[in-house]
Structure 1
Amino acid sequence: MKWSWRIARIAGIDVRVHATFLLLLLFVGLDAHRRYGSVEAGFVGAAWVIVLFVIVLMHEYGHAFAARRYGIGTQDITLLPIGGLARLERMPREPRQELVVAIAGPAVNVVLAALLWAGLHLAGSPPDPTSAGFASQEALVGRRIAERLLAANVILAVFNLIPAFPMDGGRVLRALMAWRTGDFRRATMRAAEIGRALALLLGLVGAFGLGRIVAPNGMLVLVALFVWIAAASEAAAVSEEGELAELPLSRVMQTDVRTLSPDESLARAVEQLLAGFQQDFPVVEHGRVVGVLARRDLIPALKTHGTEAPVRAVMRTDFIVATPEEPIEEALARLKACGCQALPVVRGQTLLGLLTLDNVGEYIMIRAALRGAR
């Protein structure tokens, strides 16, 4: 995700923080300083936000570990002002699997809330707040922090289970509907409709409040906007996948492919790139695909090696390929998982074509235009 930076790698998953999250810390710190009139209050406010987002991170790892159980990796987890986002390599298509993955995040919050409740229960009655003893005051502060963490976990669990797709509750709803009907696409569309309706309601509550129960809240409006856009995006993605279901790569792949030889210079690659034919080039030697030279590798290589360096010094040899009979949906999943821009289509080791996201997008647009014409 753009404007985000990696801050850690835990259990093989990159943890990233978005620039807007830093703005949230600054806003909360300045607001606490304004309200309480001390620098310490500002730092405490910002620290509390960090603690809350550690809980959010644990929530997202719940999703990631549940997905890993089904062989689905997680590209990264990004912390945003409205919460966390775990980018799975692909979403499970089995309703039972999606149900487990979706419920795993809120389940983490439920477990944390139960542990905090048990700890408070075992600690007994809270100390007397009028006591002058340092130990009593310290115990009281610790108890209040635990109570606030307990409340935060309960709120996170309940809020995420609201059936507003694509939030966790919406994914649970889709999984249950798909389980009952056996139609994943229809279940997605129905869940997206419900999600948009709830987003509209949430946005109205955030903008105008709900009498004396809920005051107007800008954060609710932002969450509603996110849910609305994400629900529409997910529905569109599933609709596109329906267009591609069981369609072989040979129907969509680019067949007019420019290739490079491993012994050619990078200057030749620059010529091909500037000619506008394509951005990624299969490297072919004796009729076999032996590598891929991607634009993202070519540009940095020009700075360090110049134009006279051979292609073999820069090309990737750990590339993945597809076959012309392979369903597009499967190839696209692998293309997105590796972060590649193009996928050589081969039979044996002979190059037949190239699959790019542009090819797929153009095919979908053409199909949509033809449907409109009919």
Structure 2
Amino acid sequence: MQWSFPIGRVAGSEVRIHLTFFLLLLWIGIVHFQAGGAAAATDGIVFVIAVFACVVLHELGHAIAARRYGIKTPRITLLPIGGVAELERMPEKPSEEIVVALAGPLVNVVIAAVLLLFLGGRFDPDTLASMENPATGFAARLAAVNIVLVLFNLIPAFPMDGGRVLRALLAMRYPRVRATEIAGTIGQIAAFAFGFLGLVGGNPLLIFVAIFVYLAANAETQATGLRDAARAVKVRDAMITSYESLRPNARLADAADALLRTTQHEFPVTDGGRHLRGVLTRAALVEGLREHGADKPVIEMMVRDIPKVRDTAWLTAAIDAMQEGRVPAVAVVGADDRMVGYVTFENISELMMLRAAGKWR
């Protein structure tokens, strides 16, 4: 995710923090300082950090549950509106998806229980109403926040935790694509409700949540449909076979010339034996020209360790490889391990659009 940087690794996942998170801390500090001075500002900032520590534990709950089914979680990113665990994929078995989805809220239940039973916190309607009041007590307020996190995350708004549970339950009766479409529609309706409440109540954070839920629901619905369609397509039917490649000794100036005379957004870097060395993306080309100049070798700006798939594999293998490796393309090789083409998300989407438009291939 852009504008984020790593702050450490926990249980095999890189924890990243988005720069806008510091804007939240700044805003909290200013508001509390105006209300009660430096002591109030410090309390407010420490409390927000404690809340987001609980959010990290929530996301780790998802990650640990997913690991049980062989799914890695390379990154957990903290945003002002919460945390995002970037799982390589979600389990496709409904029972497994329910376990992964509920693992996060279960962590918050455990945290709240510890705060209430062992650290002197208490929970009642007054505590919920005064979560921002330092006089209520740190443990009590943190317990209340965790309870709110549980209730909020279990709202059946896909792709929130409750929405994933809803999708899994629907998938027990309907095909997964149809279940995702239903859950995604409900999620988008919920997003409009969040946005309306945010506008009426003057809550900008709720508006950001609404935007995030709407976009995420739409994106995941499309991704699920794409993946389902890819199960019936071979890689050789989707790969790009007409392209211009670069030699390892090429400079960025050569890549710039190729960019202008072609419509490619990425350029495979291959040796004389058609073995892939890496891929130079348009973004990396522009960045390299800006920072290093036209004489910079392309091999110093290309993306290395590009996954390979056989041309006889199903297209889902290419999708999995790009998602797991977070790479711009996947090389397609023949029986002799030489590159015969490559696949990107863009050309997969184009293929699926053509197939959806009519009988083709």
TM-score in terms of structure 1 length:
0.81
1:186 paired with 2:178, answer: yes
Distance in 2 of aligned mates of 1:39 and 1:344: 57
Alpha carbons of structure 1 residues 54 and 314: separation in structure 2 relative to 1, 3 Å: closer
Q: Distance in 2 between matches of 1:200 and 1:356?
A: 33
Q: Counterpart in 2 of 1:133? A: none
State the distance in 2 between where 1:315 and 1:220 align. 40
Q: How far apart are residue 51 of structure 1 and its match?
A: 1.0
Instruction: Report the Cα offset of residue 10 of structure 1.
Output: 2.4
What is the distance in 2 between the residues matched to 1:225 and 1:190?
19
In 2, the alpha carbon distance for the partners of 1:145 and 1:61 equals: 23
1:164 and 2:157 aligned: yes
> For the residues of structure 1 that align with 2:195 and 2:287, how far apart are their CA atoms?
45
Task: Give the superposition deviation at 1:233.
Answer: 2.1
In structure 1, what is the equivalent of residue 213 of structure 2?
Answer: 227
Tell me which residue corresponds to 1:131. Answer: none
Q: Deviations over 1:278-310 (max 9, x none)?
A: 322141333x5152242477677787797486x
8 Å CA contact retained: 1:185, 1:238:
yes
Q: For residues 201 and 112 of structure 1, do their structure 2 counterparts lie closer, same or farther at Cα, with a shift above 3 Å needed?
A: same
Cα displacement string for residues 58-114 of structure 1 (whole angstroms, at most 9, x for unaligned residues)? 101111111122221123111111111111112221212211111110011111112
Question: Does the CA-based 8 Å contact 2:246-2:267 persist in structure 1?
Answer: no
Instruction: Label 1:74 to 1:42 Cα distance change in 2 as closer, same or farther (>3 A).
Output: same
- The corresponding residue for 1:318 is 305
Q: Which has the larger radius of gyration?
A: 1
What is residue 24 of structure 2 aligned with on the other side? Answer: 24
1:363 paired residue number: 351
Aligned-pair Cα RMSD in Å: 3.0
**Matched residue pairs, number?**
343
Q: Deviations over 1:110-153 (max 9, x none)?
A: 111122222046x99xxxxxxxxxxxxxxxx9992111121111
Partners of 1:261 and 1:4 in 2: how far apart? Answer: 33
Evaluate the alpha carbon distance shift between residue 290 and residue 236 of structure 1 in structure 2; reply closer, same or farther with a 3 A threshold.
closer
Alpha-carbon spacing, 1:306–1:81, altered in 2? closer, same or farther (3 Å): closer
What's the offset of the Cα at 1:246? 2.0
Structure 2: runs of 5 or more not aligned: 123-133
Q: Is the 2:303–2:327 contact (alpha carbons within 8 Å) kept by the matching residues of 1?
A: no
